[in-house]
Amino acid sequence: MTAVFLGIPTAPRGVGHLRGDLSFPDAARDSLRDGQLRANLGHATATIRGKRAAVVGEVPDWAELREAGRAIKAATMARLDEHLIALEEQVTARGGTVHWASDATEANEIVTRLVQATGTDEVVKVKSMATQEIGLNEALEAAGIAAHETDLAELIVQLGEDTPSHILVPAIHKNRAEIREIFLRTMPGVDPGLTDDPRKLAMAARAHLRERFLRARVAISGANFAVAETGTLAVVESEGNGRMCLTLPQTLITVMGIEKVVPTWRDLEVFLQLLPRSSTGERMNPYTSLWAGVTPGDGPQEFHLVLVDNGRTAVLADEVGREALHCIRCSACLNVCPVYERAGGHAYGSVYPGPIGAVLSPQLTGIEDNASLPYASSLCGACYDVCPVAIDIPSILVHLRAEHVEAQQHAGPEALAFRALSKAMSNPRLWRLAQKAAGLGRFLAWGRPTLPAALPPPASRWTRTRDLPTPPKETFTQAWAREHGG
């Protein structure tokens, strides 16, 4: 058999959560009607935005830190293969085992096998985007293994049989009255007098989780960073559930996207400042757990690191789009995005919503599987401004739109219109004719200052909610030429 190179593989279909069932405009149509969702999101994102702005504003060298973060990520990606091999060597030397997974299917198989080898049928989980991405919980469930989410928001989502809608705050779409209802309905042995007081809700979750922490023999985590030179893994969190999972069980399995590696211990200095201020709006997160391999008599005695590609190498091959791999999952771009704030995270159909999701998901899956996402932005640029590693998200969005357009075999009506317009706009004589034709639109208005609301598509998509001014009799350039004898 002759091997044919078909390009670098993207994340496979049928496994994981990178693709939605609906296009963004169709999914958003439903969520925009949900007044409760809009209120919850508006309140939550405005609160986090304010907190972030305050703690970022008090750092005098934020711009330099941000540039350092960008530069470290760019340099790391340029030699990603070398750093990953160094990481494997260091983790192995410290008693851990490294597994390489080319995609979600392989990663799920590896983790399932590792859990089965311990003989347990349940695991506790630290909040992790990588395991959400690959659909690990479903894979474990299919193998008869129960995965208990221990992050409060992930727990809410899991108990409510819901899906996450935010990278940092997966249950951001729920308010505390809704959370109380989920707990009362699903939590075994919960106090029937539970109120929606946040402290009471947290205590109920704490009691529910405590028993699972003490019972669990296997924990599964993600990682915020992995230091190549020391083999150190890092998880930053707020609640302490992560610390419990990372220290109590006998076996720890960490699933990590290959882009999370940083070359040196010193690099953490930059990211541990950038991340908490950008994500939760705190000067420092309450818990930072760091570990390397295993320590006899202290903590898990078996450690596995699963390095997942799942389309990342394909992203790395795109010289514009690869910047998306610099993301440290802080969610600052979601919290400032006017589109995310209104449409909500589920409309993106991927575990990575918001502006970063709109550039990451289509690249991980291949653009045609998420073709509507690069257009789910008004290109207002708020995401780029707040990104702690200066990912130029608007430029990547525009680049991916072009990749989608250029991937089409046949030109549709839009492409034909844009081609014709390009011809006209690059030839002054044709352009004047096109302007004259546009000006004829004024006859549709019957002398009124605006055009009728009922126009054929695609104009109707504007005029359904907004008036369109009646085109003037004379363009500016015509009027000017008339006045100046041109």
Partner 1 sequence: MKVALFATCLVDTMVPQVAMATARLLERLGHEVVVPPGQSCCGQMHVNTGYRREAVPIVANHVRAFAGAEAVVAPSGSCVASIHHQQAAVARRAGEHALAEEAAALADRTWELSQFLVDVLGVTDVGAYYPHRVTYHPTCHSLRMLKVADRPLQLLRAVRGLDLVELPAADQCCGFGGTFAVKNAETSTAMLTDKMANVLSTHAEVCTAGDASCLMHIGGGLSRLRSGTRTVHLAEILASTEEAVTPHQSTTPAVPA
Report the C-alpha dihedral over residues 281, 285, 290, 296, rounded to 10 degrees.
Answer: -160
Q: Which is nearer to partner 1, 202 or 411 (CB)?
A: 411
Among 428, 433, 443, 444, the residue binding partner 1 under the rule CB under 8 A is 428
| Smallest distance from partner 1 to CB 174, Å | 20
Query: CA-to-CA distance for 207 and 221, rounded, in angstroms?
Result: 21
User: Which span (86-94, 103-111, 164-172, 336-344) binds partner 1, by CB under 8 A?
Assistant: 336-344
> Binding residues for partner 1, how many (CB under 8 A)?
67
Q: What are phi and psi of 257, to 5 degrees?
A: -65, 145
User: Which span (10-18, 230-238, 247-255, 458-466) binds partner 1, by CB under 8 A?
Assistant: 458-466
Nearest to 259 by CA among 297, 298, 209, 310: 310
- 481 contacts partner 1 (rule: CB under 8 A): yes
- 475 contacts partner 1 (rule: CB under 8 A): yes
- 214 contacts partner 1 (rule: CB under 8 A): no
User: Which span (61-69, 229-237, 308-316, 426-434) binds partner 1, by CB under 8 A?
Assistant: 426-434
- 333 contacts partner 1 (rule: CB under 8 A): no
Contact at 8 Å (CB) between 468 and 459?
Answer: yes
Among 201, 227, 339, 393, the residue binding partner 1 under the rule CB under 8 A is 339
Tokens of 74: 């760019």
Q: Which is nearer to partner 1, 272 or 424 (CB)?
A: 424
Among 81, 444, 469, 482, the residue binding partner 1 under the rule CB under 8 A is 469
- 439 contacts partner 1 (rule: CB under 8 A): yes
- The side-by-side arrangement of strands in the sheet containing 122-125 is 97-101, 302-308, 251-257, 218-221, 122-125, 146-149
Among 431, 445, 452, 455, the residue binding partner 1 under the rule CB under 8 A is 431
The residues, any chain, with a CB within 8 Å of residue 127's CB and separated by 6 or more, are 149, 150, 151, 153, 154, 170, 222, 237, 241, 242
Please, is 172 exposed, middle or buried when counting C-beta atoms within 10 Å of its C-beta (0-12, 13-18, 19+)? buried
- 421 contacts partner 1 (rule: CB under 8 A): yes
Query: CA-to-CA distance for 297 and 451, rounded, in angstroms?
Result: 78
Cis peptide before 472 (omega within 30 of 0): no
Binding mask 344-383 for partner 1 (x = CB under 8 A): ------------------------------xxxxxxxxx-
Nearest to 291 by CA among 226, 240, 245: 226
- 385 contacts partner 1 (rule: CB under 8 A): yes
What is the CB neighbour count within 10 angstroms for residue 432? 15
Q: 99 forms bridges with which residues in the sheet?
A: 306
Q: Which is nearer to partner 1, 46 or 142 (CB)?
A: 46
DSSP letter at 298 equals B
Among 78, 402, 433, 444, the residue binding partner 1 under the rule CB under 8 A is 402
- 413 contacts partner 1 (rule: CB under 8 A): no
Binding site for partner 1 (CB under 8 A): 24-25, 28-29, 32, 38, 338-339, 342-343, 374-382, 384-385, 398, 401-406, 414-415, 418-419, 421-428, 431, 435, 438-439, 449-450, 453, 458, 461-462, 464-469, 471-472, 474-477, 479-481, 484, 486
